Amino acid sequence: MAATFPFELVSPEKLLFSGDVEAVLLPGAEGELQVMAGHAPLLALLEPGIMEVTGGPAGKQRVFIDGGFCDMNGESCTVLAEAATAVEDLSAEAMDEIIAEAEEAAAALEGGERDEANRRIATLRTVKAAI
Amino acid sequence: MPSLKDLKVRIASVKATQKITKAMQLVAAAKLRRAQEAAEASRPYAERMAAVLANLAQMTAGDPDAPVLMTGNGKSDTHLLVVCTAERGLCGGFNSSIVRKAVFDARDLMAAGKEVKFLCVGRKGFDILRRLFREQIVGLIDFKSVRRVGFQQAHEVGDKLVDMFEAGEFDVATLYYAEFRSVISQKPTGLQLIPAAAEVHASEEDTHAGNAVYEYEPDATDILDALVPRNIRVQIFRALLENAASEQGARMSAMDNATRNAGEMIDRLTLQYNRTRQAQITKELIEIISGAEAL
């Protein structure tokens, strides 16, 4: 059995997960990254996407997060997500709603911000396809 | 001297009022529990956010690229007061105490020659401020259609603030809300949102693993850029939740008072009713007896 480390997933509305896990796979802003026990201290921005927790008390868990950031301080890891929902609780309709909102927001933007918003929509679409 | 019928009508009306205030008190108590839970559930996020931000602030201290939202734009000529109040009244001095604090600070600032603008979050504060500073109110955000305040609302307010700051409409923003202490005590509080530096320094001490060399992905300034607006939203969210709990607490104690007052009033009116009734009976008896004696 691999070494475990304390991990917490927090959204502004509540503490979603807290416990020892083996590994966490995260959608980082510069590509996917996996955090395991003993990972170097790291602060990373996260994109909207699906994160995967393995080796936790409930086995493998997949959670959709709508952007946020990850703070690994060498011993424990905390993910602060803007919004988070377990993949089992997520429906295609709910994703459609989020995408529609993002599109509406993108329409109001210009230039670089708009490109960014469009990238976000693209990621959201991939997430939808994945569930 | 009111007639018996008048008294009866009054007693009935006070009783009806008492029923309403009692019901409102119970509803407020139920809502308070939920609001309090929500406020507590949001705490871990805010705390960790503050820790991370303090950490980052240390790393980027003195960096000219640090976001202006954090360091400020070097001026403090125009102040924006964000006044968060409730959507509804009947909650004791809740709304007016928040507004009073904001107005007090606004007068101070104006006396010091600063320009003051108001952004109202919540209808009630707007109603009061409109009478005093009609020209200085730059906007109203109300949550009338929102049943429960969520992060989405904080997001809206935060985005508006950041947009206004970037457009140069103000230099310093302060958030006014009521901090929830207990059901009988809510403290109106002013919290400086932009620039955020002052607040970050205060929490610097509880930075965990202060000396750890962090890797940043992307680099520290980029993360800070993304983080500071988010922190503003989180602060607003916390203020909104505290406010929601305070509002229900204030309403609960106000309605408790009202129910008790109504009870006292009913007792008094009932006593008066009975006295009047007895007086009337006595009067009738005297009339009958003196009539009989005259025969």
CB nearest to A41's CB, from B151, B212, B218: B212
For residue B64, the model assigns a pLDDT of 66
Q: Average per-residue pLDDT in chain A? A: 82
Domain B23-255 has CATH 3.40.1380.10: yes
CATH 3.30.465.10 applies to domain A5-87: no
Which residues, 6 or more positions from B151, have their beta carbon under 8 angstroms from its beta carbon? A11, A12, A13, A82, A83, B233, B237
Contact status, residue B91 vs residue B112, Cβ threshold 8 Å? no
Check: CB of residue B204 under 8 Å from CB of residue B53: no
Question: pLDDT value at position A112?
Answer: 65
Mean pLDDT of chain B: 85
Cα separation, A6 vs A17, whole angstroms: 10
What residue in B sits closest to A18 (Cα-Cα)? B44
- Contact state of B151 with A75 under an 8 Å Cβ cutoff: no
Residue A40 per-residue DSSP state: P
pLDDT-based confidence at B248, cuts 50/70/90? very high
Min mean pLDDT across A7-21, A93-107, B145-159 is at A93-107
Least confident of B93-102, B141-150, B166-175: B141-150
**Per-residue pLDDT for B189 more than 50?**
yes
Q: How far apart are CA B187 and CA B115, in angstroms?
A: 26
- Where do the domains of chain A lie? 5-87, 91-130
Under 8 Å between Cβ of B248 and B28: yes
Q: Check CB contact of A87 with chain B, cutoff 8 Å.
A: no
Q: Do B237 and A12 touch (CB under 8 A)?
A: yes
Please pick, among B91, B129, B154, B255, the residue that the annotation labels catalytic. B91
Give per-residue pLDDT as tens, A46-82: 888 888 898 877 788 888 888 888 888 888 898 998 8
pLDDT category, B197, cuts 50, 70, 90? low
Nearest to B48 among A10, A41, A75 (CB): A10
Computed on alpha carbons and rounded to an integer, the radius of gyration of chain A in Å comes to 15
pLDDT at B17: 96
Residues in chain A with CB shorter than 8 Å from the CB of B218 are: 29-30, 45
Q: How far is it, in rounded angstroms, from Cα B185 to Cα B259?
A: 19
Note the ipTM here.
Answer: 0.74
Q: What is the pLDDT of residue B61?
A: 66
* A15 or B270, higher pLDDT: B270
CA distance B236 to B239: 5
Question: Could A44 and B42 be called an inter-chain contact, meaning their C-beta atoms sit closer than 8 Å?
Answer: no
User: CB of B237 within 8 A of CB of A12?
Assistant: yes
Beta bridge partner(s), residue B140 = B120
Query: Which residue from B minimizes the CA distance to A16?
Result: B41
pLDDT band at residue B191 under the 50/70/90 scheme: confident
Give the fold, CATH level 3, of B4-22+258-294. Helix Hairpins (1.10.287)
Q: Is B91 a catalytic residue?
A: yes
